Structure 1
Amino acid sequence: MPKILIVGGGYAGFYTAWKLEKWLRAGEAEVTMVDPLPYMTYQPFLPEVASASIEARHAVVAHRRHLARTNVLTAKVTHIDHATKTATITPPIGEPWEFVYDIVVVTAGAVSRTFPIPGVADQAFGLKTIEEAVAIRDRVLTNFDKAAQLPAGPERDRLLTFVVIGGGFAGIEVFAELRSFATSLLKSYPEIGFDDTHFHLVEAMGRIMPEVSEPTSLWVIKNLDQRGAQIHLNTQLTSAVDGRIELSTGESFESDLIVWTAGVMANPAIVRHTDLPIEERGRLQVRTDLRVGTEDEIIADAWGAGDVSAVPDLSGGGVGGFCVPNAQHAVRQGKLLAKNIVAVLRDEAPQEYLHKNLGAVAGLGVGHGVFQSGRIAITGLPAWIAHRGYHGLAMPSWERKLRVVWGWVNNFFLGRDIVSLAAVENPRAVFEEFASRPKPPAEAAAPARAFPAKAAPVKTAAAAVTTAAPAEKAAPAARAPRKTAAKPVATVDAGEATATVDVENTVSAAK
């Protein structure tokens, strides 16, 4: 039975495995999917997760729950040697091992692409993972908590200044959602006014959202300006060291939250560790039928799709002749990839990937949205409803759809949940602070402190008299007139020995 290895469990990888389970006959092939995360992230929902409009767990799809007949490995593929059809799998615990496959499907996705700008690597958040979206949400809430206790001044301004780098769809959506989020928080923080919050988006180009028409993009800029958010066009970030934002225009200000959305690149962990052909921009070279290779040469038994691959765009709408890296293409490519793999296994011809984009839709915060299809543009509340409707239906599996929609309904009646869970980054902090620990070995082994030893009681007649006659009872005898006659003595039997003592002197000593 042929072994199919899927490298990556994002959109393209998940949908490939999901559809292979549907279309493969029993015993026709064995499918294994490897991804370091146990879930697929629905990335269009990340801006709403960052703004507390969607619960984080509802924006991910568990691999093992929805891939019942796929071998799911939560590990990393660190090398692909297609010449020998082996892949090196590195688990989180244990030694790397070799996996022998018959067919490989590379769908490893993309990561944030950054530039060597001082401070960015140390200060900024990306927006490619659910963990980043949650951290952004918690940072906003925590900063509001801190700022509410501070007087007006530089530190308060820093906490309430939020910056997004990149004016594409992802950047505009998270920027607008955070603006909407901050505005909704003001009623819970009477110490903070609307004018105390500051939002800046920095875009190097002369316009935002190239997927929509210029008039539509201008409407978005105007809408955000009216909501108290500033967009800097034809501007570059030059430094973000210690949170101090310096722009190419000469402007500078302090910020405690920087979100980087200025581009993506193919997952370097895969494309730099394989013998499969890589094109000049660092992506896997893929044909129109999603087989690896060129139109003149086919790499047998190797397939690719999604953001990691340079898939030719037959519709003519792609940048540089290739499909842009977005969820819309990745989902459709994953479905076709599964269909083509099944076709080749059955000695049938694969189909070419062709998808003509019918439009673009973006959410800009609760009640605000934009939709563009050809020359038709819809803005405001109708576009926002269209945005939620489209992505609600696009979310894979009815189980996930219901969770997301139910969360929206809850928020409509109950409002957003504004609890920060930033402490989860160090969940043992409180336990560690108060937990008892054993003493260090050196301290435990140290001898006890020496004190002067008390004189041991002498077993004499005097001691016996003192014990038998307390001082207060002996006092009258001490006050008796002193006789000049011979001193009285007492004889006391102390076991085997007999001692004779001076009673008067003994009583005086006791007193």
Structure 2
Amino acid sequence: MSTTTPKILIVGGGYAGFYTAWKLEKHLRKGEAQVTIVDPLPYMTYQPFLPEVAAGSIEARHAVVSLRRHLKRTRVLTAKVTGIDHATRTATITPEHGEPWQESYDQIVVTAGAVSRTFPIPGIADNAIGLKTIEEAVAIRDRLFSNFDKAATLPPGPERERLLTVVVVGGGFAGIEAFAELRSIASALLEKYPELSFDETHFHLIEAMGRIMPEVSLETSKWVMKSLGQRGAAIHLDTQVTGAVDGIVELSTGESIPSDIIVWTAGVMANPTVVRGSDLPVEERGRIRTRADLRVGTDEEVVEGAWAAGDISAVPDLTGGGVGGYCVPNAQHAVRQAKLLAKNLVAVLRGEAPREYIHKNLGAVAGLGLYSGVFQSGKIALKGFIAWCAHRGYHGLAMPSWERKWRVLWGWWNNFWLGRDIVNLSTVQSPRYVFEEFAARPKPPAASTAPTEKTPAAS
């Protein structure tokens, strides 16, 4: 490859990063550019499936997309980008093992996504878990299944009920879906645990606002609350978490909820490692300032050679439907922005003008456990089974690549006939525990029994 071949560096392998690389492979001519993607994980996570992974409805590996398998002509680096010096067109690449190095580029695409945004509430950092990664979804699933195993061996009482209590903080789409899916699997698990009763399981959703799911109409929101209430779930509106020390969730209402599973879904923020380590312009909410054509900059000024998309970027919403004038951070925007970004980047390389991103929100769809869901598009609202079918249909088709689609659809088909897989694999976190328990170890050297020779006294 010629040394004059433009180098494109993509920071982040999530929705926006993966789709940008995927589409660049489609639009670039052979030898037209060299594309490198950097992410600490070797896969893209399809985040809408995380609640179903946590509920055992989808196999964890089926909810992720291997970067190396599906990016045929892209250089994949499993590492972090810890610094961007756009003035010199270099980025600092930091692998898990080995020394960092400087990677030069001609065009940079920042798509490092978002992480869970928390507040300095006592106990949250030590006891809660987010739901942004596949590892978190698996940990929640295994913790719930493990807790049922433990509770079944205990006599009725506070400790048993603490193990069977789940608290979800945040009433947006992510929180509601996780909450509903976990309630659904917990109810199903009771059939396998005759020692436990439904009344011993407690599910609490904590929301600081006066309603849940602001993405849907108030009427639809109330229907969701009623549906969850009928399934034995408690929703606390206008309530904040003030503490979670030792797993005791303290609420602003004065209530205390002992729980062994605290799931935090109350907001996200742009990846701080990338944003703070960059010299690219940042707006007041900590996102990279991005133009409507997905180049970094403002209407008045363009940062040449820099692009951004997805949750880490502040992209103007030209439809007028965004929050504060910007596109909301969701998969619907990230995927479409990435597809246009790839086209625009190729256009700029060829001396053509980029196009502006315009996408009107198609609506919102959420799963609320097996056979129940909600869909909202404008004034049209679907609820219950038909919305659940719409949810699975939409996300099943939206999963990138037919290879991944078939794995997810095949898993759903198997679960329909065989039921959800409720195997608890929590011990995978310490895979050597059996080996270590029974492994033979060398005996400590025997203490010497020879008499110690005394030093003669000085004459």
Shared fold per TM-score greater than 0.5: yes
* Corresponding residue for residue 38 of structure 2: 34
Query: Equivalents in 1 of 2:389, 2:196: separation in Å?
Result: 30
1:346 has 2:347 as partner:
no
Provide, for residues 174-226 of structure 1, a one-character-per-residue CA deviation record: whole Å limited to 9, x for no partner.
Answer: 00000000011011001111111000000000000000000000000000000
Match of 1:23 among 17, 20, 27: 27
Counterpart amino acid of 2:133? T
1:168 has 2:172 as partner:
yes
Counterpart amino acid of 1:22? K
Alignment coverage as a number of residue pairs: 447
1:371 has 2:375 as partner:
yes
Query: Equivalents in 2 of 1:439, 1:81: separation in Å?
Result: 56
For 1:181-196, what aligned pairs fall within 5 Å after superposition? 181-196=185-200
What displacement does 1:448 show?
5.6
* Corresponding residue for residue 123 of structure 1: 127
* Corresponding residue for residue 448 of structure 2: 447
* Corresponding residue for residue 486 of structure 1: none
Counterpart amino acid of 1:238? T
Query: Equivalents in 1 of 2:100, 2:256: separation in Å?
Result: 48
1:62 has 2:66 as partner:
yes
SS at structure 2 position matched to 1:163: strand
Match of 1:74 among 75, 78, 97: 78
What displacement does 1:80 show?
0.3
SS at structure 2 position matched to 1:367: coil
Query: Equivalents in 2 of 1:95, 1:439: separation in Å?
Result: 39
Counterpart amino acid of 1:274? S
* Corresponding residue for residue 366 of structure 2: 362
* Corresponding residue for residue 403 of structure 2: 399
Query: Equivalents in 1 of 2:450, 2:394: separation in Å?
Result: 77
SS at structure 2 position matched to 1:61: strand
Query: Equivalents in 1 of 2:270, 2:434: separation in Å?
Result: 40
Query: Equivalents in 2 of 1:172, 1:145: separation in Å?
Result: 25
Question: What CA RMSD, in Å, does the superposition of the two structures yield over aligned residues?
Answer: 1.0
Query: Equivalents in 1 of 2:80, 2:207: separation in Å?
Result: 34
Match of 2:329 among 325, 331, 345: 325
Q: TM-score, normalised by structure 2?
A: 0.96
* Corresponding residue for residue 434 of structure 1: 438
Query: Equivalents in 1 of 2:152, 2:340: separation in Å?
Result: 52
Query: Equivalents in 1 of 2:199, 2:157: separation in Å?
Result: 13
For 1:247-266, what aligned pairs fall within 5 Å after superposition? 247-266=251-270
Provide, for residues 115-153 of structure 1, a one-character-per-residue CA deviation record: whole Å limited to 9, x for no partner.
Answer: 011100000010000000000000100000011111111
Counterpart amino acid of 2:137? A
Query: Equivalents in 1 of 2:253, 2:448: separation in Å?
Result: 70
SS at structure 2 position matched to 1:179: helix
Q: TM-score, normalised by structure 1?
A: 0.87
* Corresponding residue for residue 157 of structure 2: 153
Counterpart amino acid of 1:352? E
Counterpart amino acid of 2:47? Q
What displacement does 1:439 show?
3.7
Query: Equivalents in 2 of 1:93, 1:249: separation in Å?
Result: 47
Provide, for residues 409-429 of structure 1, a one-character-per-residue CA deviation record: whole Å limited to 9, x for no partner.
Answer: 110100011111100111112
SS at structure 2 position matched to 1:350: coil
Match of 2:293 among 283, 289, 292: 289
Query: Equivalents in 2 of 1:438, 1:312: separation in Å?
Result: 66
* Corresponding residue for residue 455 of structure 2: none
Q: Any stretches of 5+ residues in structure 2 without a counterpart? A: 452-459
Query: Equivalents in 2 of 1:127, 1:257: separation in Å?
Result: 12
* Corresponding residue for residue 380 of structure 1: 384
Query: Equivalents in 2 of 1:435, 1:316: separation in Å?
Result: 65
Counterpart amino acid of 2:76? V
* Corresponding residue for residue 281 of structure 2: 277
* Corresponding residue for residue 310 of structure 1: 314
Query: Equivalents in 2 of 1:137, 1:352: separation in Å?
Result: 41
* Corresponding residue for residue 416 of structure 2: 412
SS at structure 2 position matched to 1:48: helix
Query: Equivalents in 1 of 2:205, 2:82: separation in Å?
Result: 36
Query: Equivalents in 1 of 2:434, 2:89: separation in Å?
Result: 50
SS at structure 2 position matched to 1:292: strand
SS at structure 1 position matched to 2:416: helix
Does 426-435 or 135-144 show the bigger shift?
426-435
Query: Equivalents in 2 of 1:60, 1:439: separation in Å?
Result: 46
Q: Any stretches of 5+ residues in structure 1 without a counterpart? A: 451-511
SS at structure 2 position matched to 1:178: helix
Query: Equivalents in 1 of 2:250, 2:432: separation in Å?
Result: 37
Query: Equivalents in 2 of 1:281, 1:245: separation in Å?
Result: 28
1:83 has 2:87 as partner:
yes
For 1:490-501, what aligned pairs fall within 5 Å after superposition? none
* Corresponding residue for residue 496 of structure 1: none
Provide, for residues 467-497 of structure 1, a one-character-per-residue CA deviation record: whole Å limited to 9, x for no partner.
Answer: xxxxxxxxxxxxxxxxxxxxxxxxxxxxxxx
Query: Equivalents in 1 of 2:176, 2:322: separation in Å?
Result: 20
Counterpart amino acid of 1:138? D
* Corresponding residue for residue 230 of structure 2: 226
* Corresponding residue for residue 456 of structure 2: none
- Runs of 4+ deviating beyond 6 Å: none
Provide, for residues 370-416 of structure 1, a one-character-per-residue CA deviation record: whole Å limited to 9, x for no partner.
Answer: 01111111100000000000000000000000000000011010001
Counterpart amino acid of 1:101? Y
1:3 has 2:7 as partner:
yes
Match of 1:246 among 250, 258, 281: 250
Query: Equivalents in 2 of 1:77, 1:394: separation in Å?
Result: 28
Larger-gyration structure (1/2) = 1
1:45 has 2:54 as partner:
no
SS at structure 2 position matched to 1:77: strand
Query: Equivalents in 2 of 1:295, 1:202: separation in Å?
Result: 40
Query: Equivalents in 2 of 1:210, 1:169: separation in Å?
Result: 8
Match of 1:208 among 209, 212, 215: 212
SS at structure 1 position matched to 2:99: coil
SS at structure 2 position matched to 1:302: strand
Aligned-pair identity in percent equals 77
